[in-house]
Structure 1
């Protein structure tokens, strides 16, 4: 695959479940904000041409990140919903390239993404007509519960995966999918669901389980452990 790809990072969320004084992407992880690590992993990948980050209005934390000036990062206004942030980033990206590149949409709060997982995603999907996402097959027993947390049944986990990011689709196709899903007032939880709305079927590509999304307070310690293991083990 000779053409480089772009990355989009929606980063306008507030991460209320962290119960912190700032959005989770700005909490410190190994003495740097979470999003700093995430962006470092993306911009250091040789096939990623640039990154578009969608920020909340008047974000007070972004200016203090002190990002290296050579990092190819562009910013745009995000929204309260992830879908709005991604759509705005895609619109800006259309002004930055005349091509129809592959776009990797990646969560700001997934700082442990490995280069090898990005490589695997790009290599497996380079000639795919639709695109796909990273994920991990479910290994735990899955239960369906009622509103009062009473177990109703055990769910067959065969064929069930935990979706993660990056999610990789062509710029034009993803832009159209996000637009049409928005017009239909469809709740978009990830980019693959917008593509599914268009009647196409993205691929699932196996990634490593250490590509966690920081959501709860204890996730910070786990992410630090994973990052230290990766660095000490020479993992890329």
Structure 2
């Protein structure tokens, strides 16, 4: 086993979360009153809950929160948390934000980087521990994911949504975060995707584009991504039970 390198977590938090908009709050626009990562859950911003979930594993030396250049809310949302740095390096896309954070966080090529969504505040300590344990001696790295249980349909064209087909769910996994890779590999993968114009929505897909196969580590339903307005009430209930 190779010596354990530093572990650095990156939380990209530069988006506004348009799909989480609640029209009842702002009937004149389909945008949230504030970015969804600052919506309160149990009296605290969702971003704070997500960062605290990472801080529960002492092996993570630093959590880097990458926010937009004009963000004025992160400081208060993260006040008092140890091992946390906030960088105003958010980009136009998630990949841009992670690339910028990698350039500024001081990670060396052999350091491990865990990227975690600000909208996944329900990450259990056991899942985080399992990911780190599984990846530390893995030649590629890996991600938290859930085997798909539901029947998956594809949608056809036309104004009215209709089923075009059914996708066999055997072997399908729903990607979650954190996703954990060596900093050097992740930089190379994101640069490769950018040069080729690949639309990558998570770090694993950028690594896959290099021809590598990230490891799958079983996640949990409580680690779902808060995306739609109704998700806030469900996540708050789950946090109350932990």
Normalising by structure 1, we get a TM-score of 0.92
Q: How far apart are the structure 1 equivalents of 2:190 and 2:227? A: 24
- Structure 1, gaps ≥5 residues long: 231-236
RMSD (Å), alpha carbons: 1.5
Q: How far apart are the structure 2 equivalents of 1:212 and 1:21? A: 22
| 1:207 aligned partner | 219
Task: Say whether the 8 Å CA contact 2:5–2:110 is kept in structure 1.
Answer: no
| 2:46 aligned partner | 34
| 1:170 aligned partner | 182
Structure 2 residue aligned with 1:137, among 147, 169, 175?
147
**What do residues 62-89 of structure 1 show as CA deviations (whole Å, max 9, x unaligned)?**
1332511633324241112000000011
| 2:33 aligned partner | 21
**What do residues 161-200 of structure 1 show as CA deviations (whole Å, max 9, x unaligned)?**
1100000100000011111111111111100111011111
Deviation at 1:43, TM superposition (A): 1.9
Q: How far apart are the structure 1 equivalents of 2:164 and 2:8? A: 44
| 1:146 aligned partner | 156
Q: How far apart are the structure 2 equivalents of 1:72 and 1:151? A: 46
| 1:234 aligned partner | none
Q: How far apart are the structure 1 equivalents of 2:5 and 2:53? A: 19
| 1:118 aligned partner | 128
Task: Say whether the 8 Å CA contact 1:87–1:175 is kept in structure 2.
Answer: yes
Q: How far apart are the structure 2 equivalents of 1:141 and 1:98? A: 42
CA 1:59–1:209 in structure 2 vs 1: closer, same or farther (change >3 Å)?
same
- Structure 2, gaps ≥5 residues long: 22-31
CA 1:99–1:154 in structure 2 vs 1: closer, same or farther (change >3 Å)?
closer
**What do residues 139-180 of structure 1 show as CA deviations (whole Å, max 9, x unaligned)?**
111111213311122211000111000001000000111111
| 1:222 aligned partner | 234
